[in-house]
Amino acid sequence: MVPRSQAAASCREASQAHFLAPIVTIYHSQRFRRSYKRLDPQIQRAAETQVVLFRRDPFHQRLGTHGLHGKLKGFCSFSVHARYRILFEFLNASHDDVLFIDIGNHSLYR
């Protein structure tokens, strides 16, 4: 489990303030980088395509961005492919800095 930073803004707050500016900075956790390297190259390309869209509009309909609940409450995820998701959190109240925590199938929610 990744601890949430004190400055992190929730996914719900971000989606309610849907006048978001484009994402300025995306940080990658060590876990994300390791998981990304293990993906099939086709899934990596799909992820890159979705990240381009995410940078423009983190709540674009094609991404299916949604807030999580339970032990991941306050975190968000969006779809890369039918089975793959990127788990992330907004790092500030302006919602323009993001930390990608992990990438994988639904097992990353456990």
pLDDT tens-digit map of 52-82: 999 999 999 999 999 998 999 989 999 999 8
pLDDT recorded at residue 74? 87
CA distances, 34 to each of 19, 38, 58, 72, 103 (Å) = 33, 7, 23, 20, 9
Please report which residue ranges of the chain form alpha helices under DSSP H.
11-16, 30-38, 41-56
When pLDDT is cut at 50, 70 and 90, the band that residue 105 belongs to is very high
Is domain 11-109 annotated with CATH 3.30.2310.20? Answer: yes
Q: What is the pLDDT of residues 10-47, one digit of tens each?
A: 777 777 665 567 888 999 999 999 999 999 999 999 99
Q: How far is CA 67 from the centre of its chain?
A: 10
Average pLDDT over residues 95-102: 93
pLDDT at 6 over 50: no
Strand partners, 88: 76, 100
* Rounded-to-integer distance, Cα 104 and Cα 83, Å: 8
103: closest CA among 45, 56, 53?
Answer: 45
* Sign, CA torsion 11/98/80/72: negative
